[in-house]
Amino acid sequence: MLWNLIFFNFTTKKIPMKKVLLTICLSVICYSNFAQDKLFEPVVAKKPRHGFILTGNADFDIPAADMAKRFGLSYRAGFGVLYKTEGNWLIGTKFDFILGNIIKEDSLMINIRDKYNTMPLGKYVEMINSTGNRVGIPIYERGYAVGIEAGKIFNFNKLKPDNGVMALTTVGFMQHKIDIFDQEKAVQSISGNYLKGYDRLTNGIFVEQYLGYVYFSKSKLINFHLGIDALFGFTQGRRDYLYDVMRTDTKQRLDILYGLRGGWYIPMFKRKSEDLLFE
């Protein structure tokens, strides 16, 4: 508007060029001062949001200690609920399924399996069924871990107070076993209670440490975490007798899983009064 007025006066009236230049210079100086005020305006720190968070998690795990003697690479998939405070503290609970298909127990069913095994070792056990035919029985790693977790988000950006490095500690109960999947019930020697003499059922308490990065978008549409974790299971075998090795299975174990963990969050943060005013 200012430039239109200057142009109109300059074209319709004979205004000295000095006055025009002076007006332009004053306009530029005023605009520059306004821009500098905006540029150096103090940054107002935002407060972290608080509320419940629904979680979906997945792990890729490498076993160690006693776990590595029984199983190969495995996966975990699970869900949970967290509550986040305005101080970025977290507390909640989670449940993970433990899944795998690599079994390292060389002695598994050695007393009843076919010694001329033609299928991949660690994934199938070949046996003779009740009709005298050779069948391949799939074997899997199956288990779960359930626990209570607590931790904190360490924020380094005042404009995004919900994001940062997240540290979590989980304490709970875990269980795993070898799932011998005789779907057609074709082998009498692993049916019913006989199966318990081969499945290596193991359980006990565990402690898990997680360290990663968590991101919450302002729109609540993109929310995720990614990091590394280590699970230490202080477990014990729970079968009184194993038929294949002819001994009890009640010794103490140390089951360790090192993993890469990621997941998706669905936040249900409480809305603040200032959010309602400035939307």
Encode pLDDT of 127-182 as tens digits.
888 888 888 899 999 999 999 999 999 999 999 999 999 999 999 999 999 999 98
User: Are 149 and 255 contained in the same domain?
Assistant: yes
* C-beta pairs of 26-34 under 8 Å, 24+ apart in sequence: 27/2
In a domain, 273, yes or no: yes
Q: List, for residues 263-275, the tens digit of each pLDDT value.
A: 999 999 977 654 4
User: Are 65 and 26 contained in the same domain?
Assistant: no
In a domain, 45, yes or no: no
E-state strands within the chain: 51-65, 74-84, 89-100, 124-128, 134-154, 164-180, 202-216, 223-237, 239-242, 247-249, 252-269
User: Are 32 and 59 contained in the same domain?
Assistant: no
In a domain, 46, yes or no: no
In a domain, 75, yes or no: yes
Distance of CA 232 to the CA centre of its chain: 17
Name the 3-class secondary structure at 27: helix
User: Are 10 and 113 contained in the same domain?
Assistant: no
In a domain, 180, yes or no: yes
pLDDT at 37: 47
* Cα distances (angstroms) measured from residue 114 to each of 119, 127, 182, 241, 246: 11, 5, 15, 22, 18
In a domain, 44, yes or no: no
Cα separation, 208 vs 192, whole angstroms: 35
In a domain, 163, yes or no: yes
State the number of CA atoms in the 13 A half-sphere of 18 facing the CB: 0
In a domain, 113, yes or no: yes
CATH at residue 260: 2.40.160.20
Backbone phi and psi for residue 149, each to the nearest 5 degrees, phi listed first: -120, 150
User: Are 35 and 65 contained in the same domain?
Assistant: no
User: Are 145 and 266 contained in the same domain?
Assistant: yes
User: Are 16 and 149 contained in the same domain?
Assistant: no
Closest CA to 172 of 92, 54, 68: 92
User: Are 92 and 227 contained in the same domain?
Assistant: yes
User: Are 21 and 57 contained in the same domain?
Assistant: no
- Which residue segment(s) compose the domain that 175 sits in? 51-278
User: Are 209 and 114 contained in the same domain?
Assistant: yes
What residues pair up with 121 in beta bridges, in sequence order? none
Per-residue pLDDT of the chain (279 residues; tens, 9 = 90+): 444 544 445 455 555 655 545 565 555 455 545 445 444 445 566 899 999 999 999 999 999 999 999 999 999 999 999 999 999 999 999 999 999 999 999 899 999 988 777 777 788 999 888 888 888 899 999 999 999 999 999 999 999 999 999 999 999 999 999 999 988 888 888 988 999 999 999 999 999 999 999 999 988 889 999 999 999 999 999 999 999 999 999 999 999 999 999 999 999 997 765 444 333
Do residues 53 and 268 make contact, with C-beta atoms less than 8 angstroms apart?
yes
Name the 3-class secondary structure at 279: coil
User: Are 61 and 148 contained in the same domain?
Assistant: yes
pTM of this prediction? 0.80
H helices of the chain, in order, are 2-12, 17-39, 66-70, 273-278
As for how many domains the chain has, the answer is: 2
Structure tokens at 142: 């199956």
User: Are 30 and 121 contained in the same domain?
Assistant: no
